[in-house]
Chain A
Amino acid sequence: MKRATFIFICIVFNAILAFAAVHSHWDHIPAKDHDRANPVAGQPEANAAGALVYGDHCAQCHGADARGDGRKHPSLRSDNLRKASDGDIEWFLRQGDLAHGMPSWASLPAEQRWQLVTYLKSLQ
């Protein structure tokens, strides 16, 4: 009986881990955030500022060319980002993905997050 309980707990634990691994934050973005418009979309000045914000905060992990390191730090020229709306990316920056190593950038002013979104979109 004890062994069966142990196996059951292991299965549940692994299922939770697998669920967490498969279901990234991208699957849980609220509709109002998904639909949020980027106030600086397409502005060259915002793109240039976003590139500098990227250099300050993101390049250390994702690389100067945003292609990641092929291991822990993913490329930011990806299908996920191509398909994501500006609102999705801003939400993801604000929330981070703490369980998978991505810090939250909620303390960065919203204006800078939108500038960063503009730059990331320009890379796709």
Chain B
Amino acid sequence: MSISSIKRAFGGVLFLACCLPALHTARAQEKPYFVTYSYDLEEPGNLDIETKTALARPDGSTRYGASALELEYGVLAWWTSELYLDGQATAQDSTVFTGFRLENRIRPLMHDHIINPALYVEYESISGADKTLLEVVGHDGQSDLSELNGESRKEHEHEAELKLILTSNVKSWNISENFIAEKNLGHSPWEFGYAVGVARPLRTAAAGRPCTFCANRWIAGVEAYGGLGDTAALTLGETSHYIAPLIGWEAPKGLRLSFSPGFGLTSTSLNRVYRIGVAYEFSQIGNWFRHAGGTQ
């Protein structure tokens, strides 16, 4: 198996997304960040399905494509729950399923403020072959991504991850900061990381007629993320850092596409990582079952 299998899977999701407009859909408020979280939660009752794909080539290794399928459900207006399924394909190696993550985000404050916090709690059950780069913590580096799948998948990680998400909306600019603490539930020390994102629609007012490519449907921004060491060595030495411009497009009928080329800033970082996101939001999925059950 190779990168082409990832591309085929990605194409399949895109095709599926394009075939679904007949169902109830909605536009989310979500920003096109890949690593940074904003305090925007899923609207209650809505289901957002998204793939986040990372394409990269570590030094001295072969190209890979890693994909995370994300199922995000709005439980309440202040609580969103997510399931991630991760996998990757490495050229001249193999395609493997690398594990799952369960995540919950809550907004502890019921009102909007200048700085708005959200709390993030995640449990990860992933193998060492995971290359989705959904966060960078501790001393994560490209050497972790260049092992053969046969070797790296022997390592199994049960991890807990906590994030403090802070978001401000200033004159249509979304500014989000994440402080990340992650711990292998076995023996490893706490590892720390950060992610910061800024994004804004290209046009802030909506158009007065239906349109597909008008400027208010495009969001541009930039995010930066990296590791901050661990409790054993709380230092920036041997840590990875990235800066990544990003662009997102909200197509009609609930489809969202996003793209971001990321550039490594240190010798332990990947030189480049390209990210592609495809998302589709279904509104009020609970109603589907109510209608099917004949209660309405």
B residues 70-98 near A (Cβ < 8 Å) are: 74, 76-78
Q: A52 vs B31: C-alpha distance in the bound complex, in angstroms?
A: 20
Asked whether, in the complex, the Cβ of A56 is within 8 Å of the Cβ of B27, the reply is yes
Q: A108 vs B201: C-alpha distance in the bound complex, in angstroms?
A: 10
Contact with B along A89-124 (1 / 0, CB 8 A): 000001111111111111111111001000000000
A-to-B contact residues, CB < 8 Å: 45-46, 48-50, 52-53, 56-57, 60-61, 94-112, 115
Residues of B within 8 A of A56 (CB): 26-27
Q: Which of B112, B205, B209, B216 is A104 in contact with, Cβ under 8 Å?
A: B112
Name 26 A/B residue pairs within 8 A (Cβ), A-sorted. Answer: A48-B208, A49-B207, A52-B208, A52-B209, A57-B29, A60-B24, A60-B26, A60-B284, A95-B111, A98-B77, A99-B78, A99-B110, A100-B77, A101-B44, A101-B76, A103-B29, A103-B41, A104-B77, A104-B112, A106-B112, A107-B29, A107-B31, A108-B29, A109-B201, A111-B172, A111-B205
- Return the chain A residue nearest B284 by Cβ: A60
Asked whether, in the complex, the Cβ of B38 is within 8 Å of the Cβ of A60, the reply is no
Asked whether, in the complex, the Cβ of A103 is within 8 Å of the Cβ of B77, the reply is yes
Interface assignment of B283: CB less than 8 Å from any CB of chain A: yes
Interface assignment of B122: CB less than 8 Å from any CB of chain A: no
Interface assignment of B18: CB less than 8 Å from any CB of chain A: no
B-to-A contact residues, CB < 8 Å: 24, 26-27, 29, 31, 38, 40-41, 43-46, 74, 76-78, 107, 110-112, 116, 169, 171-172, 174, 201, 204-210, 216, 283-284
Residues of A within 8 A of B27 (CB): 56-57
Asked whether, in the complex, the Cβ of A61 is within 8 Å of the Cβ of B205, the reply is no
- Return the chain B residue nearest A40 by Cβ: B205
Q: A99 vs B107: C-alpha distance in the bound complex, in angstroms?
A: 11
